[in-house]
Amino acid sequence: SSSGPMSKETSFTSVTALHESTSTVALPREPSLLSITPTLLWTGTNWNDAIACEERLLHQYVRSPFRLGRVAVDLPSLGLGRQYINTLDVNPGVRGGVPILWMHGAGAGLGFGYRNFDALANLNGSTRRVLGVDWLGQAGSSRPSFPFGGLRAPVWTLPEEKQIDAAIAFSVDSLEALRMKLDIEQFDLVAHSMGGYLATQYALAYPERVRRLVLVSPVGWVEKPQVGRASGIFGALWDWGLGNFGLLRTIGRLAKGTAKNAVIGRFNIHNQAERELVADYFWSQLVAQRISAEKNVNYLLEPFFAPAPFGFYAKRSVMSEPMERLCKLPPTTLLYGSHDLHYIPTMPKAVSVVDAATTNSVTMRFVSGSDHHLYIDNPAEFHAYVAQALA
């Protein structure tokens, strides 16, 4: 990892064109005029802290030229009107070639890729454009009503299948709107954890837009067990839509130290200054805005414990998708850590089922010395596998 202030030109203070060939502009996250806000008093951080923490992390570790801003997208299909997608554009001047989209998991943000952006931007010896994106409703993107807005029946009145449809559409429709706004014909999609499940759903919905799919410790591929569904207080919080990362915002600053230590403690980061930068970024991106798509895990996943293998299983697993959808899945590589908390022993069966259904290859690899955040724990080996997958 690099250190010290960046010498590369970046832009956070003016409207910046993300792509010179389009009229698309990214608006920087403007600081609030209010330095003391209810959010600051309750959580120990606020909107201004979130902006500053993101800038510090990216300035410190990303050496490639980049631009950062929020891209306006219109989402009439979701009844949400205009929303803003926080987007990091690395090597924005690159013309031609297939860009790489980097999508984070639950409770994270694009900044978690700080050890990876430079490697991806120079993958296999060629200069690549890389777009790090905050999912709608998470991190630095807009936090609208989830999973839709407008004058519609409350989501709790819908049958479960319709609730699942709505939760998937929230992320898939907004990602497609971003692709259209940025005028990108096709891209390679790299996505982590819950983002891996959502990226798979995007690739199934728009297979012609995804050249290669790399899923980093994804959830949601295997069928859920018959026994072991979480019950008690945790099961109740999950079913009530409270058992998610948004709960940390509800608890506020009382959870700040414990949450930062619990999350960052799982990363293979030994430098104290780096740990503090990442921890501050994590907390500020998570709680500085209202709760929104943090709830997607409750709509789409179910937690299981012993006697079932521990994990968060999709209510609609990838392996159970209809054959006519699976057959169009782009070439896909799944990467897990060697001691990955979210690896489920039945994954080989899921990979085999999906691989048999699609005309393209579906393979799974393991990155040594790594847990769930393998891209942070062992970036060199992770990058080597991604380079193979995207060759």
Write down the residue that tokens 């060629």 correspond to: 126
- What is the distance between the alpha carbons of residues 116 and 1, in angstroms, rounded to a whole number? 9
- Write down the pLDDT at residue 25: 63
Residue 272: CB atoms within 10 A of its CB come to 8
pLDDT tens digits along 164-214? 999 999 999 999 999 999 999 999 999 999 999 999 999 999 999 999 999
Contact assessment for residue 33 and residue 88, using Cβ atoms and an 8 Å cutoff: no
Instruction: Tell which residue, 61, 77, 52, has the closest CA to residue 132.
Output: 61
- Write down the pLDDT at residue 8: 35
Contact assessment for residue 219 and residue 346, using Cβ atoms and an 8 Å cutoff: no
Per-chain mean pLDDT for the chain: 93
- Is the pLDDT confidence value at 34 over 80? no
Q: Note if the pTM is more than 0.75.
A: yes
pLDDT tens digits along 283-327? 999 999 999 999 999 999 999 999 999 999 999 999 999 999 999
Tokens of 202: 């995007």
pLDDT tens digits along 343-357? 999 999 999 999 999
Residue 169: CB atoms within 10 A of its CB come to 18
Tokens of 172: 């898939």
Contact assessment for residue 285 and residue 109, using Cβ atoms and an 8 Å cutoff: yes
- What is the distance between the alpha carbons of residues 51 and 25, in angstroms, rounded to a whole number? 18
Residue 271: CB atoms within 10 A of its CB come to 11
CA distances from 333 to 2, 69, 191, 357, 380 (A): 28, 30, 11, 15, 17
- Is the pLDDT confidence value at 18 over 60? no
Write down the residue that tokens 């709680």 correspond to: 287
**Superfamily in which the 43-390 domain is placed by CATH:** Alpha/Beta hydrolase fold, catalytic domain (3.40.50.1820)
Domain spans in the chain, listed from the N-terminal domain onward: 43-390
- Write down the pLDDT at residue 15: 33
- Is the pLDDT confidence value at 362 over 60? yes
- What is the distance between the alpha carbons of residues 220 and 334, in angstroms, rounded to a whole number? 12
Instruction: Tell which residue, 178, 143, 146, has the closest CA to residue 285.
Output: 143
Write down the residue that tokens 């409350």 correspond to: 154
